[in-house]
Amino acid sequence: MKNRTVTCVLFAAAFLLSGCRADQAQPQHQSSAADTTAETSVTVLSEETQTETTAAAAEPESFAFNPHVYSPKLAEEIPQDHWESFYHLCDALRAGETTFACSSREAYEWATDPSILGHLFPPACMKITGESNDGTVSFENGTGRIYYRIPVEEYKERQAEFEEAVTNVLNGCLETDDDDFEKCLKLYNYMESNYIYENFPEGCGDGAYYYTFMTHKGVCDELSGVYVYLLMQVGVDALEIGCFEPDMCHAWTYVILDGQGYHIDPTWALMSGFDTEKLCLEYFMMTDEHRISDGCPVDDLTVDLLPEFWVNMSSLTFPATDDRFYAKDFATLDSLDEENKILHYTDMYGTSFEMSYR
């Protein structure tokens, strides 16, 4: 049974909406993500404080790294044997092996696609490939080959470092008995508190999502991708989606809770954009109506996790019509009563509200 209240200070500033286009002014910051903390009365929604609280309480249960992240929504399009082949690849990479069991050539191409690796197994993106570099056949007789672009032992060290970083975030931000709403909110706060908006450097040599997770720097595409990955680590069905229009090119996160879809934007509410420590709920659990009112169309969405050769076959839709979790008018979080499942917040006019999230 949870018996604590999570408290944050109020935020009463409105936010000028902007997309992620190169010709548009982007959020500016004056403090680094590492400097961003929040005031607390008991426990704050921040990675650093919750890590200390977890350590002090010495709770026996903790999150472990999940190498087999999964999206039931994406699985509506991707055959199960492709997932199984991909998981064989993940296990082989963690062990430093050079082959893995694979069901078909199509499954091999999906599993080794840079977009799939970047989203679902970030350390491997740009560091392994499914293209032969030594004349060998990449797939035959149910076996796929792994072509490392760095020494195998170096890759294993990279993988282990990433796994440790992921588990530190999860155990620093979450409790093992958190429900999906609490996971979404706490990891949203982690993103807003610790990441800054900055373009991906050219010639980096890393996959964008891995780079953003390890450095806490990225733009809308990477920020939403990292948020999605962390949610999938703890069993929340989430995908990165976006719009690609002349006046608005932007990416955000789509989550499914209790069969209902919601839009969450981990870019437009970045605290670093305001040089503030206050969590804005305006872009959390949005409906289609709210997303459209912000200038993001939802009728022709892009899905990065569907590689190019799958896009034209996709029948996925991303409806978001339930507004029970939406706090409008640039509301800010006051406290989270986890025992009674009540979120307390204040709108930009100073009016306090309660929201039940049972």
Residues near 68 by Cβ (< 8 Å), separated by ≥ 6? 87, 90
Strand order in the sheet with 139-140: 99-101, 143-145, 139-140
Q: Is 12 helix (H, G, I), strand (E, B) or coil?
A: coil
pLDDT the model gives residue 273? 67
Euclidean distance between CA atoms 259 and 272, whole angstroms: 33
As a whole number, mean pLDDT of residues 158-175 equals 98
Residue predicted with more confidence, 327 or 275: 327
pLDDT the model gives residue 85? 98
The pTM (predicted TM-score) of the whole model is 0.84
pLDDT digits (tens, 9 = 90+) for 14-55: 332 334 533 333 333 333 333 333 333 333 454 444 444 444
Does the structure show a pLDDT above 90 at 69? yes
Count the neighbouring beta carbons within 10 Å of the beta carbon of residue 352: 11
Least confident of 66-80, 281-295, 307-321: 307-321
pLDDT the model gives residue 22? 35
Euclidean distance between CA atoms 278 and 274, whole angstroms: 9
Strand order in the sheet with 248-257: 260-264, 248-257, 237-245, 302-303
Least confident of 80-89, 144-153, 238-247: 238-247
pLDDT digits (tens, 9 = 90+) for 131-163: 998 899 999 999 999 999 999 999 999 999 999
Is residue 307 within 8 A of residue 116, CB to CB? The reply is yes
pLDDT the model gives residue 311? 56
Is residue 326 within 8 A of residue 290, CB to CB? The reply is yes
Count the neighbouring beta carbons within 10 Å of the beta carbon of residue 257: 19
Residue predicted with more confidence, 116 or 40: 116
Is residue 286 within 8 A of residue 262, CB to CB? The reply is yes
